[in-house]
A and B are shown apart, each in its own frame.
Chain A
């Protein structure tokens, strides 16, 4: 079950979050405290938005299925007109995920 996600796959300390950066760079001009305070929230928000986007997608598409002939065209237009998903603004980079990690999340 998911609670074990943090402990197997041979990864040490995957439970670390950005908040643990706090205090690790004492004396530095930028001691990462701002990152430590906000980054976890940004990650969580990003994941929640991914989840919500999938929901929105499913709802939109499902609502267009099994409907009457009259509304078919309207639905087709509505899906076509939906705002497209954001694209990465830099060229695709290939970040290889170690196989052990890849297998562990299947």
Chain B
């Protein structure tokens, strides 16, 4: 049964236009940033990088730029699906409204709340001298039911189109392409960890630290048991370095014990964040703070998160919400997290309140986190510069 006239006329498809505007911004951001992903490699002169690996690296750089443009097109698809949906739903609503007026002026008044689209004859509104005609009534009613059904179908079709566009977007941006290759410079581990703990880490340091330390529960289990793990050797060294255990045998009791203790601390934090009321009472946090903590707490739970990192991220977010830190720094901090490939969405979403915020920074973040430190300050400045 179709929705009633009152239902249909209460719809607000214009929301989709405003979502489409946001999506178009994402599309534009990605389009603009696409070349920034590959160019740092492509722009190196032959003298700056010689060797066999240069050719494949250039190909890969072109590939990633082309791919980001493709992702941008997917966002474009989504935006146009939304715009088209708004058009077709609004059109169907208008058609029903004008047909209803037409029936009204003929004396056949639609019951606005009826899902059967009952029409009642009202001689007072009918043309001079007109009388009730069952055939005429049926004609009006059938036309109105059809238009009500068409409006309903327009919504369903739009819903399906949105789902399909989002599905394609998901297919275009699988998590697997974002999997860390695992190669990090292990010698930076100790300084990164110290900076993160002290809250002075640059976005590059934070991003590198988070990426390297984001072990899956399975990996952590293996490390704890002292078993050879699927970790890239350089990454294992980074993890050990960050824990102040560099140079030690990963199978030794000191290392496995330390890893076990860390995991324990991670789950303690998770527990603490899961208890809302107590958190409020004990730490004097506002409801917003708690909500933000909880969202991070979920990440803690999901990926066997690490204590220090959770504290750092949450602290940045809270400082931002208390105006103790200007937006630029907070955003840059979040950006580092986005570079890490997780949490960023949650925290950035919490801090900024919409996906329009973290969006323009997603690509820059990844580049900044990984490239900034290597290509010197200029690239890092570009990332930071975006928020100043």
Contacts and interface: CB of A to CB of B under 8 A. Distances in A.
A106 B19 contact: no
Given A1-B388, A2-B360, A86-B171, A51 B341 contact: yes
A40 B56 CA distance: 36
Given A5-B357, A57-B60, A93-B76, A46 B19 contact: no
A27 B8 contact: yes
User: Is chain B's binding surface mostly helix, strand, loop or mixed?
Assistant: helix
Interface residues of B, number: 111
A18 to B, nearest CB: 6
Contact of B358 (A30, A47, A56, A104): A47
Interface in B2-33: 3-4, 7-8, 10-13, 15-16, 18-19, 21-32
B183 A59 contact: yes
Nearest to B66: A85
Nearest to B153: A29
Q: Which of A54, A77, A95, A105 has the most chain B CB within a 10 Å cutoff?
A: A54
A61 B61 contact: yes
Interface string A3-33: 1011001011111111011001111111110
A51 B366 contact: yes
B57 A58 contact: no
Contact of A52 (B8, B67, B166, B178): B178
Nearest to B29: A105
Interface in B47-100: 49, 51-53, 55-57, 59-61, 63-64, 66-68, 70-71, 73-74, 76-77, 79-80
A82 B31 CA distance: 24
4 smallest beta-carbon distances between A and B, as pairs: A52-B178, A95-B76, A27-B7, A54-B366
